[in-house]
Amino acid sequence: MVTGASKGIGSAIAKELAKEGVRVFVTARNQQSLDSLSNEIVTEGNLAPIVFTQDLLAPNAPHIIATAALAALGHIDILINNAGQSQPVDVAGPEEPWTKSMALDFERPRLLTQALLPHFIARKQGTILNLTSTYELRSLNVSAIAKAAMAMWSKQLAGELGKYGIRVNCLQPGLIDTENIRPYFPGDERRKYAESEIPLQDFGEVQDMANMAVFLVSPRAKYITGTVSVVDGGGSRSAF
């Protein structure tokens, strides 16, 4: 299952999984974009994904999505919590952006995961990959704060679930060329920023994220759990 799969990183991950022969359950709010993704996957000769349109913030959405996925697939081996959106805020602003973004970027993925955990535990297998966010922002962004909570929760969850053969990891993007990022770097700003701040001299592509995501949920990563993997062209400056 891939959430937030209608565009950007989520769409790229779904397509890459399909290339590996995975039957993918894709969910997001936009039916038209999901249908377009499905057509791309089928056109490339891969298994048709199961498309399920659902707003993750709607009442009871995590339970609805989990129930639909299990009914359609029979069992789930991989959960990729990708849904989320950048949410800059003022230092003293209204509460609504905080409430909405904390729900979208942490609470709802947590509830969706918890709805599927009994299934994973009963089968004694499964892998969960949570998309997080850069921690080096210099301005307030609720999404980044929620994703920091996601990283800590994921590490703790990995500690609890290892005995059941379940792996939990995070994937942290740097500046990836998506609709979320482009408005913040108009004109020549992207080149200027990349040349001064990113050793590889440019923003990443969604395919870079998809490549790492598919590795982390594959059997090749069977001894990797409780980690945060970074795809950022070398832009991180922290010691570890």
Give me the DSSP letters along 30-70. -HHHHHHHHHHHHHTT-PPPEEEE--TTSTTHHHHHHHHHH
For the chain, domains (ranges, CATH) are 2-231 (3.40.50.720)
Residue 183 pLDDT: 86
Contact 180, 101 (CB under 8 A): no
Specify the 3-state DSSP secondary structure of 222.
coil
- For residue 240, is pLDDT > 70? no
Average pLDDT of the residues in 147-172: 97
Residue 236 pLDDT: 87
Average pLDDT of the residues in 59-64: 97
Residue 81 pLDDT: 98
Confidence of residue 184 (pLDDT cuts 50, 70, 90): confident
Average pLDDT of the residues in 167-177: 95
Contact 219, 48 (CB under 8 A): no
Confidence of residue 135 (pLDDT cuts 50, 70, 90): low
Residue type, 65: I
On the 0-12 / 13-18 / 19+ scale of CB atoms within 10 A, 79 is buried
Q: What is the reported pTM? A: 0.95
Averaged confidence pLDDT in the chain:
95
Confidence of residue 101 (pLDDT cuts 50, 70, 90): very high
Confidence of residue 181 (pLDDT cuts 50, 70, 90): confident
- For residue 138, is pLDDT > 90? no
Helices 31-43 & 8-19 angle (0-180, nearest 10): 30
Average pLDDT of the residues in 112-135: 95
